[in-house]
Structure 1
Amino acid sequence: MLRSEDHTTEIIGTIAGLKDHLLVDHRIHARFEVTFTPALPTLRKLMDAGRLHLISLMDHTPGQGQYRDVELYIARIAKERGMSVAASEVVGKRMAGREGQGDVLNALQDLSARAQAAGIVLASHDDDTLEKVELVHGLGAALSEFPVTLEAAQEARRLGMHTAMGAPNALRGESYSGNLSARQAYEAGLLDMLASDYHPASILPAVLGLAELRGNGLAAAAALTSANPANALGLTDRGAIEPGLLADLVVADRHPVPRVRATFRAGRLIYGDGTLAPAGKAERVGPVAAERLPAAARASKQGWSSSPFPGNGELL
């Protein structure tokens, strides 16, 4: 099965085995549905093997979190499937399924202890109430991923947690689920980073759009995809353009359509104007190589920023 635990574990192992041969520094973000406790043994094995770098504690059961409005959830499922009865059954089964899952809280406490011992950052997901934020913070979560209410985002900030929201939300100006707008959170000073979510191409135009909303402009907006994520995830070797740090850079054009022109990993050009460098052929940019950069990169340093995850093309 494509989404089986065995298949996923095999993919993660393959990525780890090829780490020194890839153009991009891949990091594994495990998104754990807390009601599916049978996945815990797999998570523990991956943690013990040093294969995970971020774990999100998620609960997509209707009635809370992203789908706290059950009627809205039913309407969405009904529209997608064309049968409101089927949607009601889905909701009922999901809610009933929460029973008999064992002591989820004890399992999460064990997972939290293992993560902290391994230096793996924990994130909550779809925080909708003050109580939930306090609970996940007590479990050791340092990141509130996609808070769905302004109050939850404010509480996360009060507790010293970082906040992340989706770039598509920031670009559209609203959540497709009717939850907190990333723009509203950013204007309130409650947004620390952008995630690609369901549309990675949204990151660059979202950064440019947010740059117009606050006085710090492009520098503050670009930090949502560079310095802030690096800080939140403990990646101290990247995230800023400073001596001694990795030169993970992206060159982008604003006009006529925002697009990435070049990407560097540790100072080596790995992508330029639609072409990837062959494996093992990434080129460190010196006086000669710089002549072959896109004109936009040679003409100006404006728009350079450092990436928390090298070569992902997500930064301005």
Structure 2
Amino acid sequence: MTALIALDWGTSSLRGFLMDEDGKVLETRASRHGIQNLPAEGTEGFEQAFVSLCGNWVEEHNIRAGVACGMVGSAQGWREAPYVPCPADTHSLASKAVSIKAPLGVEILIAPGLSYDPENGCPDVMRGEEIQIAGALGEDVSDGAERLIVLPGTHSKWVEVRGGTIEAFHSYMTGELFSALRRATILGRLMPEDRKPAADVAAAAFAKGIELALESGPGDLAHQIFSARTMGLFGRMEHAALADYLSGIVIGHELVSARNRFGGRMRADMKLPVIGDGDLCARYVEGFRIACECEPVLLGNTAPAGLYRFAAALGFLSSASA
């Protein structure tokens, strides 16, 4: 029986999942109506985006409950769901969820984000990744095992988990840094947008960037990224491969930092879950293979499973459909 609608609502996109009581995804839909690209301003924009994506699901299955995660719960979202401090688990998230009365008689519970504020350290936040982590952990949360989970992205997250509890996490602006360097600095002048290198050339350029980062000393990043220009100027690398080389440098520096921070958890006998899909996660997996001996495990998109666990913690599944 159809149970609920689950929404992964980010800055640039909206994904919806129609799910049954066992967590099986019956249908998936997506739109470009992220919180920065709504069809109208304010609350009306969120309501229109919801009805456009999910309206016929609601009417066909008489659904009255939904869950959502991501930037929809930010200060710029439909309704703000304040951050929950670490350590936190799925039940902690459920206890601080905020309710929205959506169109068509649907109540949507929005998951809060997480904050981490270590003593004598810098605070950190995530919003949306906590649900992906819940999905990656599944029901295997009672053994107390320590895990390190990586979520590549615009702001990559390295998350320390014990059992089913997120104890700490660390963000890296690697994706946004790469984009800014390519789009807004002189480095991008030699990187053609309309031409891609052969796969083996791209892989070699990326690996060269990773290896350069692994040889770095403190403060070398600003020096090394300039080589993404000079390698092209001096004909050492074809221009179409310079973006792959730059990607390797910035991801490589993230891995250098992670090795220093988590070295004991990046051993050859350790599996390292990587959450996400697409080319970026594949790059991280390849970077791990170059930078350390641990075994990366690509999990794909775990948001639907995490939203299901969030709904279960809310007690929605017994009354999600009329």
TM-score (norm. length: structure 2) = 0.25
User: Where is the strand percentage greater, Structure 1 or Structure 2?
Assistant: 2
